[in-house]
Amino acid sequence: MAKSKSTTSATATAVGASSNVPTSITIVNESTPLIPKHGQIATPSTSNTATDAKVLSLSHEPATRKKEIAGLVLLTISSLAFTLSSLFVKEAGFTISSLEIVFARAIVQCILSLISCIVLRINPLGDKPGTRLWLLLRALIGSLGLILFFYSLVHLSLTEATVLFFLGPTFTVVLLSILFNDPFTVFDGFCSVLCVVGVVLLSQPHHLFGKQTISSPEQENDRKRTMAIVCALLGALMSAAAYVVVRKVGKGIHFMVHVFYTGVVTALVSPLVFFFLLQQTIPPVEEYATREWTQLALVGLLAFLGQCLLHQGVKLAPPGPGTLMRMNDVVFAFFIGAIFFNEQFNMYSIIGAALIMGMTTALGVHRWQLDAAARRLQRRHSTRERTHQQRSSQHHDPKALPH
């Protein structure tokens, strides 16, 4: 779901061995793709040279350009599918707890991903040696992120929850710099600080923006809102942690394997959290009306559709414009929230959301520029090495010398 987004959403997605997915796209849901390590990626739709030259442009070759446009369209439809899934999460949240919605979505995801694996003749447990424990860990982190994100969706506005989860790539950059010694530039720090400012403006804590004394009902609502904001931020952090685990695993695992693992683990974890945290059991299915059943089914179906479209879109779309497509999540959330839930925002909220969106997107594009520069240096170094080896072989081979 929301890119659970879902951790999730968005949820998203082992893109396969050849996929080239920017961080700002991968952390959209719980199906974060398997992508190569830093400096080892190769654009599927264009050559490395073309990608390095124009990070934000489309190819000038008609056939390639057509594929790239198709990829961007798929990413846009994927964003719409995830947002509609979030819409039904909020609708169902009026009568059903967020953990029940998570459980229902996980069941739908398990069934659809297992059927897909059978049709595609893929081992749902994965064939790559030594990766299953990592896949389980990634699924566990993703399931926790999904639970946190769904809670924030139910208790915050659709736009607020989506924007806060949008911070996943920022957390990813920080985690990768700590765990993998990836470069953390001054620009990265600048974007991260402005993202924090955006969170403050969006959340608007009472001691900074509101009344110093508030009534008991307002205090209770404020506590719930604060908890939901914290859950959204933790969900974004979980999505970043899932990416880090994916990077540890490496590439070569089909994205549907990730979807299956996440569905199974979430279906096991959510009832445990429901029981041990809330000391409740999931209500019997007889208590659900047709409306609730429909909402739960649509949550799972739309999220699964979004995952599949995301997987295909990132394989076709160029990295720069693909990164910008992530903003569609917030755009769709804003309009759908305004239409269906009459969500309204003050100037502080709008500025905060714009800061988070802008800085996260700028951060994603900046990372691609760093990757492009690293690839250019690596290619120049490889070219010099090959030239040096050829000259050395000619120097030591008498037959290669002119007579």
| Structural domains in the chain (count) | 1
Residue 215, pLDDT score: 56
Mean pLDDT by 10 residues, the chain (403 residues): 42 37 41 37 40 57 85 93 96 91 95 96 87 92 94 93 90 88 88 93 77 60 88 93 82 86 94 75 65 94 95 83 82 94 91 92 82 80 81 64 52
Instruction: Tell me, yes or no, whether 380 lies in a domain.
Output: no
Q: Choose among 151, 95, 135, 132: nearest CA to 270.
A: 151
Residue 11, pLDDT score: 37
- What does the pLDDT look like over 372-398, one tens digit per residue? 777 788 888 888 888 877 777 766 655
Per-residue tokens: 300: 């799972």
What residues contact 130, with CB distance under 8 A and at least 6 apart? none
Residue 52, classed as helix, strand or coil, is helix
Q: What phi and psi, each to the nearest 5 degrees, are found at residue 10? A: -90, 160
Tell me the C-alpha distance between 168 and 323, whole Å.
13
Instruction: Tell me, yes or no, whether 383 lies in a domain.
Output: no
> CB of 1 within 8 A of CB of 81?
no
Instruction: Tell me, yes or no, whether 5 lies in a domain.
Output: no
> CB of 296 within 8 A of CB of 174?
no
Instruction: Tell me, yes or no, whether 15 lies in a domain.
Output: no
Tell me the C-alpha distance between 164 and 170, whole Å.
11
**Furthest-apart CA pair in the chain: how many Å?**
98
Strand partners, 5: 3
Instruction: Tell me, yes or no, whether 144 lies in a domain.
Output: yes
Strand partners, 32: none
Instruction: Tell me, yes or no, whether 7 lies in a domain.
Output: no
Domain limits for position 261: 23-375
Average pLDDT of the chain is 80
What are the helix (H) ranges across 166-289?
168-179, 186-203, 206-209, 216-249, 255-278
Instruction: Tell me, yes or no, whether 292 lies in a domain.
Output: yes
Instruction: Tell me, yes or no, whether 394 lies in a domain.
Output: no
DSSP 269-337: HHHHHHHHHHS--PPPGGG--HHHHHHHHHHHHHHHHHHHHHHHHHHHS-HHHHHHTTHHHHHHHHHHH
